Structure 1
Amino acid sequence: MNKKLILASGLALFSSVVNATENGTDTFALGAEGVLAGALPPPGLYLLSYYQHYQASEFVGSKGQSIIPNFNLEANAVVPRFVWMTEQKVFNGQLGFYAVQPLVNVDLKINGQKASEAGLGDFIFAPMLGWHQGNQHWAAAIEGVFPTGDYKASRMANIGKNYYTVRPILAYTYHQPQGWDISTKISYSMNSENKDTHYQSGNYFAADYAIGYQLYPGLTLGVEGYAFKQLSSDEVNGEKIAFKGQSLAYGPAIHYQQKGWSIEAKYLKETNVENRPEGDSTWLKLVWTF
């Protein structure tokens, strides 16, 4: 089994696509990470490619009730991520960097009104460190999300968010080469104010998880999902409002690997949602080594 490919899969812990915060959305890619989420690869250049389809037919309030009539959201994203792992050590961890540029298409329907937007999402850049000890792997990053995506306050749907986010990330993986993979990633996102709307989205915690078992060489089946919890209230013109989002998700996943490449697919269903869209997502991730 290609060691570089195994560890490259762990780079998935740092990606962002789509999907309470302003409009019940955020810049963190909930559920993107799975097998080997905490394992970073050896020095070199890497390309990881993601595809996400998200669909929600309800916007749920704080008591689980639908609060927006005739709501439907459908989003598709293609997300290339370029990664550079260096030979330099910092705090005894391997230093790396990554850059992400999502390409997103959003279709939104609310009570008979429709909006559709497509374009570049917000740009993401981060330094990261990785550590390895036997079957255990750790990773840490500080991610910056920059408001470069297309945005107009008057639009019903937007690709960009029009605010900055700083996001510390920690991840851990226990990986048996011919057995279990137990991985998790946790993050905490801190958002600036949207200067056009004077709306500041609250800070939030997000954690992805994966439990998988390798049934055959290169083939792993598992259960994956995520938890999202907003910890501080949103603010409008400096005044706090009682609007905090949360959600849980779970679903089946499959990971297949051959020399030089791997592919992972999953389906995730949301539950226990508050103040956010409630739906499901399908993920496809390709890892290429050079």
Structure 2
Amino acid sequence: MQQSRALTTLVTTGALLSLAAASWATEGGGGMYPNGNENYLTGALPPPGFYVLGYASSYRADTLRDNNGDKLPVDFKLQVNAVAPRFIWVSDLPLAGGQLAMHAITPLVELDATVNGRSQRKRELGDIVLGGGAAYHVSDKLHYYAGLDINAPTGQFDKNDLVNVGRNHWNVEPLLAVSYVQPRGINADVKLMYDYNWKNKDTDYRSGQEVHADYALGWGFGNGWVAGVGGYAYRQVTDDVGPNVPAHGNRGKAFAIGPSIKYDNGKGYFVTAKWQRESGVANRARGSEFKLRMTLPF
């Protein structure tokens, strides 16, 4: 009975599957941010102007992991395909010694999940992200961005559904992204984030706070190409609070790594791609994902 209740808590209370939904944790095993979403150039914002970034991803998982990282005895399959336009405005206005920048993300998600013979498919708008901050250019190689993102509960949520695209609560996420960029030689990027979650009013469940980072490390070949590895590291740092929370607090953790590439034409257009496989997973789904990102200047 306790095992059945734990599975119900993990799976049926609703999982965030915004943007890429690369993994599960907290309530329903989901988190606001699609871990591993960023790649090369994450902290190097472009010159003043308006830009559109396009994100696309495909994630697949077929196991759920318990608090010890062991496979749960449940028939589980998850396929998530997502596209998300991101609109960025970089100004020439000063902010804390840097340049003011603002952005918005509108994720569109196609979700197909099966748990112990019960299936559900959804194709919907996810939770919209609004954010802003300051961009800094220390040199032609070192860049960083400090900001705050707000995740709004715009996605649909039904506590009786198997899974949900929306989280049904607000979230704030302070972040710091740093990029070391050079045409030939080492390229390194990291985006550090901290998530603070509000309570889901429909379930009276409050997900714990989370610390996570996307990273990329590669070598530039001097012709616009960079190749290396990328992924993410994730850990939930406070317990969930609410009905049916396991005694261990349902804290999630995971790590992912895989090959990553970038092409930059030097005129404002670039594309990055990577495949990442998750390991060291607890209280989440374990799977793999392909991610693509491109930038178009206007």
TM surpasses 0.5: yes
TM-score, with structure 2 as normaliser: 0.89
- The answer to whether the aligner puts 1:87 opposite 2:95 as a matched pair is no
Tell me which residue corresponds to 1:168.
Answer: 174
Distance 1:108 1:199 in 2: 22
Tell me which residue corresponds to 1:11.
Answer: none
Distance 1:241 1:125, change over 3 A: farther
Q: Secondary structure at the match of 2:184?
A: coil
Compute the displacement of 1:227 (Å): 0.3
Compute the displacement of 1:17 (Å): 3.7
What does the per-residue CA deviation read over 1:175-232, in whole Å, with 9 as the maximum and x for residues that have no partner? 1232211111100000001111111110000101111111241111011010000000
Contact kept in structure 2, 1:234 and 1:241, CA below 8 Å: no
Contact kept in structure 2, 1:141 and 1:170, CA below 8 Å: yes
Give the counterpart of 1:215 among 214, 217, 221.
221
Distance 1:260 1:210 in 2: 20
Q: Which range moved further: 156-165 or 254-263?
A: 254-263
Contact kept in structure 1, 2:183 and 2:223, CA below 8 Å: no
What does the per-residue CA deviation read over 1:214-262, in whole Å, with 9 as the maximum and x for residues that have no partner? 1241111011010000000001159784210000000001111223421
Give the counterpart of 2:283 among 270, 275, 279.
275
Segments of structure 2 that go 5 or more residues without pairing to the other structure are 1-17
Distance 1:286 1:196 in 2: 37
Q: Which range moved further: 141-150 or 239-248?
A: 239-248
The runs of 4+ residues in structure 1 deviating greater than 6 Å are none
Tell me which residue corresponds to 1:104.
Answer: 109
- The answer to whether the aligner puts 1:47 opposite 2:52 as a matched pair is yes
Give the counterpart of 2:131 among 126, 139, 153.
126
- The answer to whether the aligner puts 1:32 opposite 2:37 as a matched pair is yes
- The answer to whether the aligner puts 1:246 opposite 2:253 as a matched pair is yes
Tell me which residue corresponds to 1:152.
Answer: 158
Tell me which residue corresponds to 2:9.
Answer: none
Tell me which residue corresponds to 2:65.
Answer: 60
Letter in 1 for 2:104: A
Contact kept in structure 1, 2:19 and 2:83, CA below 8 Å: no
Distance 1:264 1:236 in 2: 40
Contact kept in structure 2, 1:169 and 1:188, CA below 8 Å: yes
> How many residues were matched structurally?
276
Give the counterpart of 1:23 among 28, 32, 47.
28
Q: Which range moved further: 258-267 or 47-56?
A: 258-267
Distance 1:228 1:142 in 2: 19
Identity %: 36
Compute the displacement of 1:16 (Å): 5.0
Contact kept in structure 2, 1:233 and 1:241, CA below 8 Å: no
Query: Over the residues paired in the alignment, what is the CA RMSD in angstroms?
Result: 1.6
Segments of structure 1 that go 5 or more residues without pairing to the other structure are 1-14
- The answer to whether the aligner puts 1:136 opposite 2:142 as a matched pair is yes
